[in-house]
Chain A
Amino acid sequence: MVAGTNSRERGRGDGVSDAVVVARGVGKVFGTDTDRVEALRGIDLQIARGEFISLIGPSGCGKSTLLRLIGDLLQPSAGELVVNGKPPRQARLDRDYGIVFQQPTLLDWRTVRANVELPLEIMGVAREERAARAEEMLALVQLAEFADHHPWQLSGGMQQRVAIARALGFRPALLLMDEPFGALDEMTRELMQQELLRIWTETETTVVFVTHSIPEAVFLSTRVVVMSPRPGRISAVIDVPLAHPRDVETRESDDYYRLITEVREALRRGETGEGRR
């Protein structure tokens, strides 16, 4: 599942020579001397090209913080992060990653098309090229006919699909997603998960996905990274060898339930502090 070569067209990376994210001893402390909170401690993690990694854990385990460190929206207090072979800041300046938040964060004053074009516009992509890419991305998330609508005319699930199209429009090496389906109802959520897997397969991008839903993490991921709080750390990494493409049948399979149980137990061990690595 997690094997392959440099060529993203040919398959998934081998996980060592071709790491998109490498974290070594990463820590993050918020606040000042008198009022400090240790959000993360001693994070070691390697994410290979083409992987789909979920970060799961209870509130306060630092999973969003880790995502924001990878995306250079925060700076680590300790350790080292390498994204696409360079410091996160350089990766950000090189537009190596697209990001999707829990809120769609679409600009109300732009149409759906113009929202998808925004990163391309900032990157200085020519007008025709922008239009073509936006078209392609909106087709990918199946919203082509809504290109000229404004965001507020769309449902929450559709808005989030626009946000995904925007994040993928400039073909980033890495897609960072911070509880992107957290605000959606269960039905929409399952549909979106299915969509996301299809998009991941078609674009062969690498995904880091923050969630607090165990079934979501298992259904989507190639590996689930289980985190525990106070301070935030990785308590287990669980491989998810479910076959692709995954669908409704996957959700009803025994392997799926077994993996959900495995993740749940890892979470519980992390909570009680037994499972420290």
Chain B
Amino acid sequence: MTPRDPTERDVELLESHETDIFAGFEGDIPGEPGRLETWIRAYGPAAAAFVVVLALWEILTRALDIETFLLPKPSEILDRFITNAPIIWGHGFRTLVEALGGFVIGGTLAVAMAFATVRWAAIREGLLPFAIAANTMPIIALAPIANNWFNVTSPLSKMAVVSVIVFFPVMINTTRGLFEVDPGELDLLRSMAATPREVLRHVRIPNALPYFFSALKVASTLSIIGAIVAEYFGGPQDVLGQYILNRANLFQFPDAWAAILVASILGIAFYVLIVLVERLAMPWHVSLRATEGG
């Protein structure tokens, strides 16, 4: 294969190909900057910064001769990340199951509770202040208690902690979204003699979606953090938290860092998944109009 410079024609082909894939998306106007170009403009600076930081890290740890147990070199971490891949990804999977399980349980209960606050004023007035107070508590401190309640060896004990962590921000935000509705829209629905159920369906729920998704984004990263920290308090050994703890105790810090890298990747992937679902669910929202299409 003889490498050659990409010609303008190639770039055009690439762009038209990209455009075809996303045909039908609004904002895909011919003559606008190509997708590739837009992506590079949008993500180029962050990617460059990432590479620079890694390079500096590598150079400085070598130049200053920093001990591995203080701060391993990126190359060492990468080495362990590759050689230990089957183990740490296996652990990562089990941690992810705990995080996802807790996320689904906590999120479902939170949404159910948010709808209950719309239906029954007593719940809104009686329980919401406590929910807001509970949201400020360091819920992770409950982990040893959850281990006691749900059996330390069961993933349920970790899911319980995660679900409590996820519950409060999702419930509080969704409730706000269901209530912070434009009064004009409520007047409008009233003029149409809409029932409370129709107001919920046509105004309150769509209005709550942005609030709900911003809470889910926070909750997605919190759920991975919650699962790992809950694992520090004991349980099966084949999970990320216990692995990080054990390798750190044995001064095998590059192993611990490699596991942390797995946790980060899982956290980011979870977050990105929520963002994608958000785009599908509410393409009309003001925050997404500029980014959809070209």
Contact = CB atoms under 8 A, between A and B. Distances in A.
Contacts of A95: 192-193
Contact of B187 (A101, A122, A123): A101
A107 B187 contact: no
B191 interface: yes
A63 B259 CA distance: 68
Contacts of A189: none
A52 interface: no
Contact of B188 (A72, A97, A99, A150): A99
B193 A122 contact: yes
Interface residues of A, number: 22
Contacts of B202: 107, 118, 122
B282 interface: yes
A152 interface: yes
B188 A101 contact: yes
Which of A92, A95, A97, A109 has the most chain B CB atoms closer than 10 A to its own CB?
A109
A106 to B, nearest CB: 9
Interface string B180-207: 0010110111111110001000110010
B193 A108 contact: no
B284 A108 contact: yes
A98 B189 CA distance: 11
Contacts of B206: 107-109
Contacts of B284: 108-109, 150, 152
Interface string A70-107: 01110000000000000000001111011101010101
Interface residues of B, number: 20
A97 B193 contact: no
A73 B191 contact: yes
A110 B188 CA distance: 15
Given A118-B202, A152-B286, A152-B289, A105 B193 contact: no
A275 interface: no
Contact of B282 (A73, A98, A109, A122): A109
A107 to B, nearest CB: 7
A156 interface: no
A108 B285 contact: yes
Interface in B147-183: 182
A71 B203 contact: no
Nearest to B195: A122
A36 to B, nearest CB: 22
A88 to B, nearest CB: 11
Contacts, number: 51
A235 B149 CA distance: 75
Contacts of B191: 71, 73, 92, 97-99
Contacts of B184: 101, 103, 105
A94 B193 CA distance: 8
Interface in A109-140: 109, 118-119, 122-123
Nearest to A92: B193
Nearest to B285: A108
B286 A107 contact: no
A93 B194 CA distance: 9
Contacts of A94: 193
A108 B285 CA distance: 7
Interface in B181-239: 182, 184-185, 187-194, 198, 202-203, 206
A72 to B, nearest CB: 8
A98 B193 CA distance: 11
A122 B198 contact: yes
Contacts of A109: 206, 282, 284
A72 B192 CA distance: 11
Nearest to A105: B184
A122 B192 contact: yes
Contacts of A123: 192
A92 B190 contact: yes
Contacts of A98: 191
Contacts of B203: 107
B283 to A, nearest CB: 9
A94 B282 CA distance: 33
Interface of B: 182, 184-185, 187-194, 198, 202-203, 206, 282, 284-286, 289
The 3 closest A-B pairs by CB, nearest first: A109-B206, A105-B184, A99-B191
17 contacts: A71-B191, A92-B190, A93-B193, A94-B193, A105-B182, A105-B184, A105-B185, A105-B187, A107-B185, A107-B202, A107-B206, A108-B286, A118-B192, A119-B192, A122-B192, A122-B202, A152-B289
Given A105-B185, A107-B202, A152-B284, 19 more contacts: A71-B191, A73-B187, A73-B191, A92-B190, A92-B191, A95-B193, A99-B191, A101-B187, A101-B188, A103-B184, A105-B187, A107-B185, A107-B203, A108-B206, A108-B284, A119-B192, A122-B198, A122-B202, A152-B286
